Structure 1
Amino acid sequence: MQDDVINIALYLRAQANKNPHTCALMAPIEGTFSFLTRPVYIRKTFAELEEESNGVAHILQRKGIKRGNRVLLMVRPGINLIVIAFALFKIGAVPVIMDPGMGVKNFLSCIQKTNIDALIGVPLAHRLSRIFFPYFKNVHTRVVVRSGGFSREIKKRGLFRDFPLAQTKRNELAAILYTSGSTGAPKGVCYEHGMFDSQIRMIRDFYGIQPGEVDMPMLPIFALFNPALGMTTVIPKMNPSKPAQVKPELIVQSILDNNITNTFGSPAIWHKITEYCAKNEIKLPSIRRILMAGAPVSDALMERTQDLLPGGVVYSPYGATEALPVTSIEAVARKLAKRQGLVGKGTCVGKALPGMEIRIIRVSDDLIQGLSDDLILPKGEVGEIIVRGPTVTREYYHLAQETAFAKIKDGQTFWHRMGDIGYLDKNDNLWFCGRRVERVVNGDKTYYTDCCESIFNQHEHVYRSALIGLGPSEQATPAIVIEPHPQFYPQNREEETAFKRALLDLAKQNEVTQDIDQLFFYKSFPVDVRHNAKIHRLTLAHHFNKKLKPINV
């Protein structure tokens, strides 16, 4: 690969030449009867994936899509999505990817900001674009994708010949990936071709991924990396827009049937899988590594998942859409940190990956023009996490103010503000304490979500908890909202009172939470649309600030 030409599609072409007959993709056939637990798969080799993406690139180019066009992809996860994405990379066009569950208002706002040139999507997507025509008025090319994809048209027109790859540069825009908007409005993150290339190399080298492995990505975007890594992609039988509703028996069966060696999924997914495996006494011997991310991963969940792997390792990488990965930690290392008695001190997320740098600065809700020594905090002191490295994105698309707030200049380079609070310990491990906007300030004392919630989460009847603030932002009263395991939700005042007493006893034993005496119960927390795992604490705070009726003993 030439140093001045970087294009993720070059990796696919290299795999097609080196391993043409190796299976690249396996996807469940749409319309498989729901009572079948073992779906029938369509298979594509690397040569077939290369050939088909060439054909689609020819078709899209003939329809008017060209280098630099911003193309909204509204296609269901599967073979079509991957083929179309690689076709766009070959053209040099820019895929725009949004979460389908972000809500109509956010979706239309993102469309308006992005000013898309083309729409490639299923028939429903095109119907919606006509209903909301003013937001799509600049779209000059529309391509309808049906379940069969483009195979028939490629054969009919004989479009099997090579497609000349766009000679995209390292700093050229490759894709616009929207954040989930879990703590604010979704923003379009600009990924350059060089950043994708750096991500691929970093993930491959750090986790030791080898060609010939079999991956099941439970977040569709990760499937785009697999051809570059030489891995076979097995697309799971699940609705990626609702990962918490996954049927664990289908995922487990697919892992066992296809000898999956690698998989990525959110804590919400692995919570269900570990429960199912424990109940049915199932182990997952083929898996070499599990990457679990998307929200803070509890020590207990990492331990339960690790117990399923006779020869594998559970990792929890830390990062964000704007910078991924930043750090990584293994289940064994997390367990060691837990044994050190650091409950209430945050969650250890590991050391920086090679090439990544981390600093902790004084917490600020304001714009920071440049990095200075007086901003940087020493090890052990809690502050705002900032990162720098080859996988850190430069800007949000057409959001100058948001970009200026999120980036800090440092000479000829810049740092990204993660929006998280944490600290570095004496061994350079990063500890996560919570989101900056979700901290609760009460005069001279500040409460951090991850630190406080870990105390209450120790109770065996608690599924998860959420720190919220009641009242004015600078003098907010800290309160905890509890989501019990369904079978332990209090059914009457007596059970409620007893449950609260037990929780407050836990709180009094730790200086982090000893001042907290306001407590609420909530049956099912609002969570993010992408991973179904990040708690919408600000939504909960708004709800309970309106009620202001805490449970009193």
Structure 2
Amino acid sequence: MSPSLYTLIEASLPADRARTAIEAPDRSRGPRIWSFSDLLDTTARYAALFVRLGLSRGDRVALQTEKSPEALAVYLACLRGGFVFLPMNIAYRADEVDYLVGNAEPALVICDPSLEPVLSEVCTRRAVPNLLTLDPDAGGSFIDAAAGVTGEVEPAECAADDLAAILYTSGTTGKPKGAMLTHGNLASNGLALRDSWRFTEADTLLHALPIFHAHGLFVACHCALLSGAKMIWLRKFDREDVIRELPRSTVFMGVPTFYTRLLSGEDFSHAPVSHMRLFTSGSAPLLAETFEEFRARTGHAILERYGMTETGMNTSNPYDGERRPGTVGFPLPGVEVRVMSDEGAALGAGEVGGLQVRGPNVFRGYWRMPEKSAEEFTSDGWFRTGDVAMIDADGYVHLVGRAKDLIISGGFNVYPKEIEELIDDMPEVLESAVVGVPHADFGEAGAAVVVLRAGRHLDEAALIARLKDKLANYKVPKRAFFVEGLPRNTMGKVQKNLLRENYRNACEAG
């Protein structure tokens, strides 16, 4: 048996447990300060409460609350006691929650008080034995129940393959799939990131991400906890709050939308980030234009990396060395990547194919979906990511798109990212997305959905004419549509499934 991820985290914290672990600014009431001792004590009480409620090792604990230090302590209590953590997006509606609760069968659900009426019905219908509430200001029945708990729950010893968390993927088709992440998956990835990104207890991480997602919960929190770094804990991204807190921070992690919002005003420049050592970006592609503008404005090169719910982080641009815009860097320590043809042949530098990964970071499979799990792995143990990629001659990984985003037009493969990059380079364009829609003659054709810069004009004919000068005709979208903004999920990813549905009849006339 190896130590649990919790034991590894506890051993990584500073010797001086009175140091600040989390500072949660509050404009109206002043900051809430948690020392590392506070965090450990709270975690121990929560784990003891779980036992008092009748939970056994391996039982699931579902959490649907706003971001708070207490929510993080719930996660750590699961790790401490050998329970399985199930975070749920606060924005999920009744039907979505009903499916997840029915599928995961948690022994305890903790929700925001505003969601209790809905969750009460779900938990009754799904025979969940325990439902408690937790609000972001440290109130609710969960806090009340934990207040009087005494006694210790010794940190569970766990094998690397023991389950630590289930995160449901936001698949574009079918029901969400529960990715089973083990103590070994999370520990190996957390240590690889901590070391690759040079985290130490001298760091202060400005945390503005949600924690129902792998980016905010695992990437950000594990880097801090496994190095003993302090976190400034914002409930959400607020441009004013971020700019105010940056001078007290050393690391910031964001999605591309965070960076475009920071750059949207002239008040953001080199001054507030002069002592920052690292900005990272993930969860969605970072435009090369955003990378270059950020570097010109601040002097910092954003470090882009690549991961997914099922694997944690797979690759990263280097901490030392060239961070190339438009790439996601090299495999992290312990992770292998390869690009394969549809026929299963390994492809060489510059060739485009399916990206596969292998390593201790790769998940155990999908919860209660053994057939689906088996489909996603090759016979020699590599996980099929579903991403289309190319590895260049220098070893940098370039993501071309998702396999499901591939357009097959008249028998030819069309990769949307190639077209999107050309559209995004047009001076009138802010951003774009290209999706495949049904076409009478070609089976499928591209439709471009474009957001223009304020005050700029471009029409469909002109856009398509420019693309015809640069692309083979089969790659050129048959239609172009101009919109105020692209639909995105909570992590900033463009929801191409919605675009495909909205524009499915765009080429009906052929």
Q: Which residue of 2 aligns with 1:22?
A: 19
Q: Which sits farther off after the overlay, 226-235 or 101-110?
A: 101-110
TM-score, normalised by the number of residues in structure 2: 0.89
CA contact (8 A) 1:15 1:230 kept: yes
Q: Which residue of 2 aligns with 1:389?
A: 359
State whether structure 2 residue 439 is matched by structure 1 residue 476: no
SS in 1 for 2:328: strand
Alignment of 1:383-532 (within 5 A): 383-410=353-380, 414-471=381-438, 475-488=443-456, 496=459, 500-502=461-463, 504-511=465-472, 515-529=476-490, 531-532=491-492
Q: Which residue of 1 aligns with 2:259?
A: 270
SS in 2 for 1:378: coil
The CA RMSD over aligned residues, in Å, is 2.8
Deviations 1:76-106 (A, max 9, x none): 2111111111112111111111223344433
For residues 5 and 402 of structure 1, what CA distance do their matches in structure 2 show?
29
CA contact (8 A) 2:270 2:297 kept: no
SS in 2 for 1:526: coil
SS in 2 for 1:163: coil
CA contact (8 A) 1:58 1:163 kept: yes
Q: Which residue of 1 aligns with 2:494?
A: 535
State whether structure 2 residue 303 is matched by structure 1 residue 315: yes
Question: What is the CA-CA distance between 1:285 and the residue it aligns to?
Answer: 1.6
Q: Which sits farther off after the overlay, 112-121 or 273-282?
A: 273-282
CA contact (8 A) 1:12 1:50 kept: no
CA contact (8 A) 2:62 2:109 kept: yes
Total equivalences in the alignment: 497
Percent of pairs identical after alignment? 21
Question: What is the CA-CA distance between 1:394 and the residue it aligns to?
Answer: 2.2
Letter in 2 for 1:483: V
Q: Which residue of 2 aligns with 1:352?
A: 331
CA contact (8 A) 1:326 1:356 kept: yes
Q: Which residue of 2 aligns with 1:241?
A: none
Question: What is the CA-CA distance between 1:319 and the residue it aligns to?
Answer: 1.4
Deviations 1:170-208 (A, max 9, x none): 110011112233566432111111111101110011111
Question: What is the CA-CA distance between 1:375 and the residue it aligns to?
Answer: 2.9
Cα gap change, 1:398 to 1:283, in 2 (>3 Å): same
CA contact (8 A) 2:438 2:508 kept: no
Give the gaps of 5 or more residues in structure 1: 34-38, 239-245, 339-346, 365-373
Cα gap change, 1:287 to 1:135, in 2 (>3 Å): farther
State whether structure 2 residue 293 is matched by structure 1 residue 304: yes
Deviations 1:132-155 (A, max 9, x none): 346532x12223324335777666
For residues 211 and 113 of structure 1, what CA distance do their matches in structure 2 show?
39
Cα gap change, 1:286 to 1:280, in 2 (>3 Å): closer
CA contact (8 A) 1:467 1:481 kept: yes
CA contact (8 A) 2:243 2:268 kept: no
Cα gap change, 1:112 to 1:399, in 2 (>3 Å): same
Q: Which residue of 1 aligns with 2:504?
A: 545
SS in 1 for 2:234: coil
Question: What is the CA-CA distance between 1:398 and the residue it aligns to?
Answer: 1.1
Cα gap change, 1:252 to 1:118, in 2 (>3 Å): same
Cα gap change, 1:436 to 1:17, in 2 (>3 Å): closer
SS in 1 for 2:156: coil
Comparing both chains, which one has the higher relative contact order based on Cα–Cα distances under 8 Å and sequence gaps of 6 or more? Answer: 1
CA contact (8 A) 2:25 2:32 kept: yes
Cα gap change, 1:154 to 1:419, in 2 (>3 Å): closer
Cα gap change, 1:195 to 1:266, in 2 (>3 Å): same
Q: Which residue of 2 aligns with 1:143?
A: 132
For residues 15 and 448 of structure 2, what CA distance do their matches in structure 1 show?
56
CA contact (8 A) 2:23 2:231 kept: yes
Letter in 1 for 2:489: D
Cα gap change, 1:107 to 1:487, in 2 (>3 Å): farther
CA contact (8 A) 1:283 1:308 kept: no
For residues 267 and 288 of structure 2, what CA distance do their matches in structure 1 show?
17
Letter in 1 for 2:401: G
SS in 2 for 1:459: coil
Question: What is the CA-CA distance between 1:272 and the residue it aligns to?
Answer: 0.2
Deviations 1:115-172 (A, max 9, x none): 22211222233321223346532x1222332433577766655x3x643111122110
SS in 1 for 2:354: strand
SS in 2 for 1:375: coil
Q: Which residue of 1 aligns with 2:214?
A: none
CA contact (8 A) 1:528 1:536 kept: yes
CA contact (8 A) 1:99 1:180 kept: no
Deviations 1:337-386 (A, max 9, x none): x7xxxxxxxx422221221111111238xxxxxxxxx5322332211111
Q: Which residue of 2 aligns with 1:10?
A: 7
Cα gap change, 1:208 to 1:545, in 2 (>3 Å): same
For residues 10 and 57 of structure 1, what CA distance do their matches in structure 2 show?
14
TM-score, normalised by the number of residues in structure 1: 0.83
Q: Residue 201 of structure 1: which of 180, 191, 194 is its match?
A: 191
Cα gap change, 1:162 to 1:276, in 2 (>3 Å): farther
